[in-house]
């Protein structure tokens, strides 16, 4: 049984604190020293990817201290307890089983009298069968016509992850003849969101996926009513156009309002649900169940690497440890996620929720106070657009913000054009290589306005191409990184009490049960 202790009580953390500022990154990344680091400071990932941390402020001493920290904090043992069914979510007294949606690392997990791996696999098989029938025209609209669009209705983790995954594979699927249906997403309770999607959707040939674990999510049910109203006005029966992804105990589970219902449970948090039925239904309909299975395989292979006890063979754990060193020892308050791939345009938004909702905590797993900082602020945009936006602050601002780049050697589509001696993909890759060195090494100039101090740390995940397997591995890498950091900070990464208070007050506003400032703001907004 692993021991759970606050970070600042660990002897190895005290040793790590003594190494603050030890590495001069500009010197370390200059000349032959930098070249050697770039070659050797790398760890293989699944799907032919690699985590390269050469431009981080670490050396042999820091890395050895991080190794000791991983061992003292029992990171590998805690991960093993998690995937073998321990009650890791202490806030809600629940197991944490999202890894089981894509494989089986350890023992069978029996919960509520059910083999949970078998349960998740059964749902995947049911979704695959349903999607195949839709694609074959065996499940159609009332007129016997095939569906050509799938629209997911959900919010938070029911939207951000699946939407990011869809966009990441949309062009790849079209280039590889696996694209089946367009996918769209409705999430915001703002009526302009649903209205805008419906205005560009042929609802007669659309199938809608309602995602709500409890079956009571206010924003999602509101948008469902919006969609049903549009279907009725078009002379259609909503029950012929809707499926549900929910829990077996929710009011949606056995309702006649849906063509089918696919199930998840309380052991998978929304932000960790892209590999469950939450992502499975929309992605299987959009690209085919075979592509979704490949996505799961990539995630499963990365999970296996995350179980390695040696940090130098475990890219997810090493990334997490370096991140804690940056946050707690170096004092950096934010991390920028910078994918040099347009397909990953919404991936930073997903990671923003994954990281900040998981580790944005100020008490430990047992409700006790902690005296150190926890999760950083996460933000980002794809390169090279970001270079013409917020990179100015990253290069010359007063705050040092660590960066996580993602880059691929080849584009998804394959078509390109040679302009001025290089292709677009080569220009893209040239930019990310240049940014890593520019941030690390900087540039001296007689004009202070043109001086770059350097010393801005970054890592990069490099892959051959953004395939379903690579996307699955990338997703699992960050899920596991967040998990390991939560273990180190001794916080519960799997509840989200911070989202609840606003929901409660919003219900009071809608019930006109307000006073004080809440009433004034309600009146100002004419509610």
With the C-alpha atoms ordered 275, 276, 278, 280, is the resulting torsion angle positive or negative? positive
Separation CA 127–CA 67 (nearest Å)? 42
Task: Please indicate whether residue 388 is annotated as part of the active site.
Answer: yes
205 is catalytic: no
Query: How many whole angstroms separate alpha carbon 459 and alpha carbon 51?
Result: 7
- SS3 assignment for 494-519: CCCHHHHHHHHHHHHHHCCCCCHHHH
Cα angle: 113, vertex 115, 116; to 5 degrees: 110
Alpha carbons 81 and 224: distance in angstroms, whole number: 38
Strands of 341-384, DSSP E: 377-379
Residues 6+ apart with CB under 8 A from 98: 267, 268, 269, 272, 273, 275, 276, 479
Q: Is 156 left (phi over 0), alpha (psi -120 to 50) or beta?
A: left
* 369 is a catalytic site residue: no
Catalytic entry in 357, 381, 469, 479: 357
- Catalytic entry in 409, 427, 503, 507: 503
Catalytic position from the list 93, 233, 388, 512: 388
* DSSP string for 273-317: -TTSHHHHHHHHHHH-HHHHHHHHHHHHHHHHHHT-S-GGG-HHH
Task: Give the number of other CB atoms < 10 A from CB of residue 59.
Answer: 15
Catalytic residues: 357, 388, 503
């Amino acid at each position: 049984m692993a021991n759970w202790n606050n970070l600042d009580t660990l002897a190895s953390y005290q040793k790590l604190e003594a190494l603050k500022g030890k590495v001069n990154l500009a010197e370390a990344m200059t000349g032959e020293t930098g070249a050697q680091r770039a070659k050797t400071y790398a760890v293989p990932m699944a799907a032919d990817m690699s985590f390269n941390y050469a431009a981080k402020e670490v050396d042999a001493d820091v890395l050895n201290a991080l190794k000791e920290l991983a061992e003292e904090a029992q990171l590998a043992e805690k991960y093993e307890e998690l995937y073998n069914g321990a009650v890791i979510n202490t806030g809600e007294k629940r197991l944490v089983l999202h890894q089981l949606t894509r494989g089986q690392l350890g023992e069978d997990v029996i919960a509520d009298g059910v083999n949970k791996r078998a349960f998740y696999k059964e749902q995947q098989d049911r979704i695959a069968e349903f999607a195949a029938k839709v694609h074959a025209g065996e499940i159609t609209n009332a007129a016997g016509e095939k569906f050509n669009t799938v629209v997911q209705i959900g919010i938070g983790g029911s939207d951000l992850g699946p939407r990011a995954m869809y966009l990441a594979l949309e062009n790849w699927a079209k280039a590889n003849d696996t694209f089946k249906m367009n996918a769209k997403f409705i999430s915001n309770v703002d009526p302009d969101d649903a209205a805008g999607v419906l205005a560009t959707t042929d609802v007669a040939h659309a199938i809608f996926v309602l995602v709500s674990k409890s079956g009571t999510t206010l924003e999602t049910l509101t948008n469902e009513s919006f969609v049903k109203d549009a279907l009725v006005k078009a002379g259609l029966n909503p029950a012929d156009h809707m499926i549900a992804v929910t829990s077996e105990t929710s009011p949606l589970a056995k309702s006649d309002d849906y063509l089918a219902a696919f199930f998840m449970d309380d052991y998978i948090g929304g932000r960790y649900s892209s590999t469950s039925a939450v992502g499975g239904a929309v992605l299987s309909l959009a690209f085919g169940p075979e592509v979704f299975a490949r996505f799961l395989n990539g995630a499963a292979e990365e999970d296996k690497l995350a179980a390695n006890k040696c940090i130098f063979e475990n890219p997810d754990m090493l990334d997490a440890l370096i991140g804690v060193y940056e946050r707690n020892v170096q004092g950096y308050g934010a991390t920028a996620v910078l994918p040099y791939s347009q397909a990953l345009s919404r991936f930073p938004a997903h990671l923003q929720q994954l990281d900040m909702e998981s580790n944005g905590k100020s008490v430990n797993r047992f409700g006790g106070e902690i005296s150190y900082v926890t999760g950083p602020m996460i933000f980002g945009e794809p390169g090279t657009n970001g270079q013409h936006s917020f990179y100015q602050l990253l290069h010359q601002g007063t705050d040092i913000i660590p960066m996580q780049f993602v880059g691929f050697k080849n584009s998804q589509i394959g078509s390109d054009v040679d302009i001025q001696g290089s292709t677009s993909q080569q220009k893209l890759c040239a930019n990310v290589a240049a940014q890593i060195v520019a941030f690390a090494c900087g540039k001296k100039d007689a004009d202070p306005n043109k001086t770059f101090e350097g010393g801005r740390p970054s890592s990069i995940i490099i892959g051959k191409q953004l395939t379903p397997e690579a996307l699955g591995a990338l997703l699992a890498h960050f899920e596991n990184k967040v998990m390991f950091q939560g273990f180190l900070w001794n916080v519960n990464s799997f509840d989200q009490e911070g989202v609840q208070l606003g929901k409660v007050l919003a219900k009071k506003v809608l019930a006109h049960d307000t006073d004080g400032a809440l009433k004034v703001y309600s009146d100002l907004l004419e509610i």
